[in-house]
């Protein structure tokens, strides 16, 4: 029981500040030059990490990938709008904006140096989700 309380306390500390009040996942997709790439997913934002799980379809099968981006720099641009720089476990560095002004519809846009953008899911992404992942909740 003591361990459970300690874990709950640690989890509550990590949710204060930057991502406080943001519960659940954000539905995302990957774009290249503003066009949907066929990769959708979900992301969780914490004080120190942007955790991403992506799904793509290959030969009528769903292929998942997981990425954990460590937030290297975080600048509060204005109330609940942050510029961040982060790096994933493969060494890919992304920069961009996380807009938490509307906690029910948060916005994210992270761009790699290769021009791949991780952003909120579009209609094309929702269509793919409905076709290949009808039972998976990707978030808002």
Q: What is the DSSP string of 104-124?
A: TS-EEEEEETTSEEEEE--HH
Q: Inform me whether the pLDDT recorded for 110 exceeds 70.
A: yes
pTM over the 0.85 mark = no
Q: What is the pLDDT of residue 8?
A: 32
Q: What is the pLDDT confidence band of residue 5, given thresholds at 50, 70 and 90?
A: very low
**Residue 25 · residue 44 · CB < 8 Å:** yes
Domains with residue ranges and CATH for the chain: 2-132 (2.40.128)
Q: What is the pLDDT of residue 22?
A: 56
Q: What is the pLDDT of residue 114?
A: 92
Q: What is the pLDDT confidence band of residue 6, given thresholds at 50, 70 and 90?
A: very low
Write down the H helix ranges in the chain. Answer: 2-14, 123-132
Average pLDDT of span 68-80: 91
């Amino acid at each position: 029981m003591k361990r459970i309380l300690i874990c709950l306390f640690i989890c509550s500390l990590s949710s204060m500040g930057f991502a406080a009040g943001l519960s659940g996942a954000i539905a995302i997709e990957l774009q290249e030059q503003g066009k949907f790439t066929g990769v959708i997913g979900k992301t969780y934002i914490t004080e120190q990490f942007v955790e991403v799980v992506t799904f793509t379809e290959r030969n009528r099968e769903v292929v998942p990938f997981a990425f954990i981006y460590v937030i290297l720099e975080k600048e509060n641009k204005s109330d609940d709008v942050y510029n961040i720089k982060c790096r994933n476990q493969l060494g890919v560095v992304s920069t961009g904006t996380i807009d938490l002004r509307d906690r029910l519809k948060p916005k994210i846009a992270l761009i790699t140096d290769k021009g791949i953008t991780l952003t909120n899911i579009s209609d094309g992404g929702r269509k793919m989700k409905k076709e290949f992942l009808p039972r998976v909740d990707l978030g808002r």
